[in-house]
Amino acid sequence: MGTKKKTQRAPFFFFIVAIYLLQTTVASRPVLLSHQEDPCRPIDHKSLRSDQLTVLINGFSESRLMLLQEIATVYSSSPAVHSVYVLWGNPSTASQTLRNISFQSLGAPIFLFRDASPSLNNRFLPRRFIRTRAVAVCDDDVRIDSDSLRFAFRVWQNHPERIVGFFARSHEFDLSRRSWMYTVSSTRLSIILTKFMVVSIDYLFEYTCRIPASVREIVDKRRNCEDIAMNFAVAARVAAGPILVEGKARDYGDSRNWGKKQKGGGNGGGGDTDKAEGGLSWRGNHRRDRGDCITEFHKAWGRMPLRYSYGRVVDGIEEQGLCKKGKKLVPCDEQE
């Protein structure tokens, strides 16, 4: 009798397990309407969570849809993430194409939001569906692993007034041209890129509702430089530079590092040739255009608010003893 009961219950038990796994690991999310309430309505801070962040992925290229789905899944698996929103900014994409997208969530829910325009300023709208104080603004061709994401969020929690991120740039003044340059420096930084940046929702409000309107117009005109404008906005408020953190990152859009794994906190990228596709940074005059943006933003603000930071924050330093192996010194755990 006992054996018979087990045989009868087993199919039902596995059916329940299968349904549970299906519900917790696979979720096909509907396309949300491109409706946005007044973005400059005051933020209700009491309703916002401080223990998690919201991930906003900027989506535009249909050829990167599979990569975007993969990245969204990775972010959804992090305990630090409350929700993931893909902000689709390509108006020429057919609605059916977006309806056919299926996201696989490993924890946090994933949503698709179609914006009414392709403006890069939309990346920083203080959207009403954001339920956290911290927001991670990122590209659809950059993947940060779960531990690194959680570390960046932890650093931000200790410095919520600053921008925290993995990809840094800097600015310098060109005396011969009497204009600002957009640079890469190994010793200092003043700009964190929207490849992946963690920022307070208050700065989304600042960017959308308080910075000079001419700055957002420049971003729309150039289809570039929204990240530089955000760094201007934050530095103007706190008179401090951004914070660069070390972490494991993959930048599928940087051709200089195709086939290489990148360690974040540097100034390069890494990716796979079969997934990468050129973006704004592929333009031959990209760096010059970015320098022109800095010069124009300087004029709009009437001063230069950008501030330099030095070094990077790492998640602990491992101490490793060295042992003699033959004529060489090697980590002790490798001597056998």
What does the pLDDT read at residue 37?
73
What does the pLDDT read at residue 38?
87
Q: How many C-beta atoms lie closer than 10 Å to residue 64's C-beta? A: 21
pLDDT per 10-residue tile (average), the chain, 336 residues? 50 44 48 69 95 97 95 97 97 93 95 94 96 98 96 98 98 92 95 98 98 98 97 98 96 68 46 41 76 97 97 77 68 58
What does the pLDDT read at residue 53?
98
Q: Which fold has domain 16-334?
A: Spore Coat Polysaccharide Biosynthesis Protein SpsA; Chain A (3.90.550)
Whole-angstrom Cα distance, residue 305 to residue 296? 13
> How, if at all, do strands 196-200 and 164-165 pair?
antiparallel
Q: What share of the chain is helix, strand, coil (3-state, %, to 5)?
A: 35, 25, 40
What does the pLDDT read at residue 22?
43
What does the pLDDT read at residue 286?
86
What does the pLDDT read at residue 315?
87
Active-site pick, 140, 227, 254, 292: 227
Q: Where are the domains of the chain?
A: 16-334
Is 227 a residue of the active site?
yes
> How, if at all, do strands 243-244 and 164-165 pair?
parallel
Whole-angstrom Cα distance, residue 263 to residue 14? 42
What does the pLDDT read at residue 104?
94
